[in-house]
Structure 1
């Protein structure tokens, strides 16, 4: 593996998913050691995304407005901006790790992340984080669409719903096997180092 053409893209390991909120993901605690292993070993190659809700539902258009009308307790005015922060163990790695904020499930929507990574010559992404069946899925499929080689770290992704987590891993592993590989964090690190 070329040691200069990959990054670790860690999706949404934030306080609002780790703590007692309506969006709490209990499995985050279980995958955090694997995420920290790769992020600490290669903080300069780690990009953390953060899912940033609007201040109010009325700030959004279309179905995103309806979404935040349903989840009004998760808007910034109600939640508090500090809950958007990364969990402390991961926030401590920034810098040299970087943060990329997004307002949708996919980190690719604005084009900015792809522009930065393409400018750095990145060809492969090792993806970790949550949730497997929402933002991780959107990140992986978007990366495939953009031509990246994707390695999904199956012991470093999580969801609040076991059934759809498992189904997402099966879908990605079966339907996208030419463009996406599912691997364990330790196996990836042994090849990347």
Structure 2
């Protein structure tokens, strides 16, 4: 096993029409691609990792508190995976990893790097939301840790279209990622 698919923040609060910090339709439109990639990755015997943002009600010390409305609060429906991605996770949960993260990057404050190293992972594919926030910061950390990067253009979305487009260019131009 040398490859892993990392699904970033595909939760109700980030994707549903009434989510607290939603990408809305752009986020919903990528569900078929993400679901298909989860199935293909599992069938190939490769690793799928779900990394989900977690916040706590009333946490005034978290830096995002000043930037965004409360979202992905522990114990709320907003933190649940969304739509067909949730269905795929439930189907394959026994062979997937799931990590909570408290910062934009899936590597910050988690044991993701260790888990990938233990499994001999050298290449990671990123999908999820938001392209210009959590996907971007995860990609930067992955680059700095020496991983080969693949970003599925039709598997990422943001509530900020200009930021989304900028991040896609940054992935290739600055991080040497393959964007397909």
User: TM-score band (shorter)?
Assistant: 0.7 to 0.9
- Show the counterpart of 1:142: 141
Relative to 1, partners in 2 of residues 1:35 and 1:72: Cα closer, same or farther, differing over 3 Å? Answer: closer
1:6·1:122 contact (CA, 8 Å) conserved in 2? yes
Q: Give RMSD over aligned pairs.
A: 1.9
- Show the counterpart of 1:189: none
Give the Å deviation of 1:71. 4.1
Cα distance in 1 for partners of 2:10, 2:72 equals 17
Q: Which runs of 5+ in 1 are unaligned?
A: 184-193
Relative to 1, partners in 2 of residues 1:101 and 1:111: Cα closer, same or farther, differing over 3 Å? Answer: closer
Alignment: residue pair count: 171
1:14·1:50 contact (CA, 8 Å) conserved in 2? yes
Q: Within 5 Å, which residues of 2 pair with 1:85-164?
A: 85-92=80-87, 93=89, 94-164=93-163
Give the Å deviation of 1:134. 0.1
Relative to 1, partners in 2 of residues 1:70 and 1:162: Cα closer, same or farther, differing over 3 Å? Answer: closer
Give the Å deviation of 1:70. 5.6
TM-score (norm 2): 0.86
Q: Secondary structure at the match of 2:131?
A: coil
Give the Å deviation of 1:40. 1.6
2:6·2:48 contact (CA, 8 Å) conserved in 1? yes
Give the Å deviation of 1:171. 1.6
- Show the counterpart of 1:74: 71
Cα distance in 1 for partners of 2:72, 2:10 equals 17
Q: Secondary structure at the match of 2:99?
A: strand
| Structure exhibiting the larger radius of gyration computed from Cα positions | 1
Q: Secondary structure at the match of 1:99?
A: strand
- Show the counterpart of 1:84: 79
2:8·2:126 contact (CA, 8 Å) conserved in 1? yes
- Show the counterpart of 1:25: 23
- Show the counterpart of 2:49: 47
Give the Å deviation of 1:18. 1.6
Cα distance in 2 for partners of 1:111, 1:74 equals 20
